[in-house]
Structure 1
Amino acid sequence: MANEFPQVVTIGGSDSDGSAGIQADLHSFFMRGTYGTVVLTTAVAGNSYGIHDSTLIPLDFIDHEFDALADDLQIRAAKTGMLANSEMIRTVVKNLKKYDFGPLVLDPVIITKHGAMLLEEEAFETLKNELVPLTTVLTPNFYEAEHIIGETLDTDEKIVAAAKAMQDMGAKNVMLKGKHVPGEQTEVRDFVLLESGKSFWLAEPYHETDRVNGTGDSLSATIAAELAKGNTVEDAIRIAKRFVNQAIGHEIQVGHKYGPINHWANPLVNPEY
């Protein structure tokens, strides 16, 4: 029967060296046993040294991408990545309201794990006010969470309060990812607050490596893939945390500088890991 196989869509940007963006998402979808599809929003010319050029996809073409997928496939979960400006965010919101693409995982690409801004303030406000309320699972990194809340998160109590505040903004479930500080930690702790009110911390070993490109993309993509297969939000988050930690902990040498994580370090596929 048509469309029996679980299908997922990534709504985001293309990274030409394959380390992040929709390429990292597609790697994750494949490794988690789902069929990946794409709504392309931006394209980046980059490599392990950095980004050298970028371009935006026309808004009417983004509409056509949504139309084409909805006309033929059965998308069971969606995730967003790079959404460059307010107009693009509103185009995505319009289409997510028009078509049922299942639960939405929002990777709010606002600030890098090193604290560099990626989204202008106007677009950030649009994302917070119009896209967050549609979100099933919100996965901000530590700095993005601080920016969303407008407060320094320097205690566990503040992190818990921040997750609750993000739920109040409309996100059903929140995974607030922990800080990454080279030389200062032995584990990465993420805080999870579920729609039911249940909360917990997830910890995995911290790995000293510069092979971390695509970490946030892959985490949110894995959550989306697991939701498409029918797993609960809690199980999807736990699987994603472990999957990404495995991928970081077993390096592959691609590129000269800041390389990708290793999606093939999946114990279900490669038991030696």
Structure 2
Amino acid sequence: MPLSEFQKYVLKLLAAQRSQESYIAGGAPIAASTSRYSGDFDIFHDREDFVSKAAAADAELLSKHGLSIRWIRKGTGIWSGEVEGGPQPLKLEWAHDAGFRFFPSQADDEFGFVLHPADLITNKALTIADRQEARDVYDIVSLSSIVPIAAAIIAAPAKDPGYTPESLIAAMKRNIAHPQVAFDRLRSDAPIDGGGLLRTLRQSLAVAADLAMALPDEAIGKLYFEDGEIVVPDPARLGSYETREAQYQAVLAQPEDLPFDTLAQKYGKNQ
């Protein structure tokens, strides 16, 4: 992701405050190695009470460096605001995440802590099922170089049992009919071939649909590994793969009154 000098500066400041329970998610980590720009950063937290504490701590840190936050929303489980004092607008959003995922958040030199690509792509599949945004198509196809889309669709119902792979695929199909102009509106350093992205995604959805029909129910909701890589499993040899299931990844048994900055120090990236 092409980051402006101001975005890099803010990210560097905020990275020191991130931890395994306060991490960058959403589109920014996905776009980190692509040509698409992102104008906002989503900071997720495994505990709802961390959201307001993290937002306040980040705002205090930014204020020490001559920046302020114009608050847009302060609610239960979600705060958002725009950083002021820099050369360009930058939106920050702090939100609650369930903490139920396939991997713990991982340390990152640029962002502090981020979601694992397997969790980013399964979240993105669920997001596409819920909204119609061209950037989501771009993001999920970009991530497919690391985690196959069909593998993500088979695994995603572990995070939202309201979906089967079949119903997830159907919902995604309804939300990916974007004209080229929708991709042209995305901020990018290079032209975006919307038709190519959609063909890739639809081919992956077809693979996932065939796979879902062939897999037994107990095989759904898992990631499959071969030689250390996440793969689309062959239903005829399920027993030959290593598997991973989603679980609650948050740090447990936290004292309720422990200040957020103390938690960030205890579980931060430098520990």
Same fold (TM over 0.5): no
Task: Decide which structure has greater helix share.
Answer: 2
**Length-normalised TM-score, structure 1:** 0.29
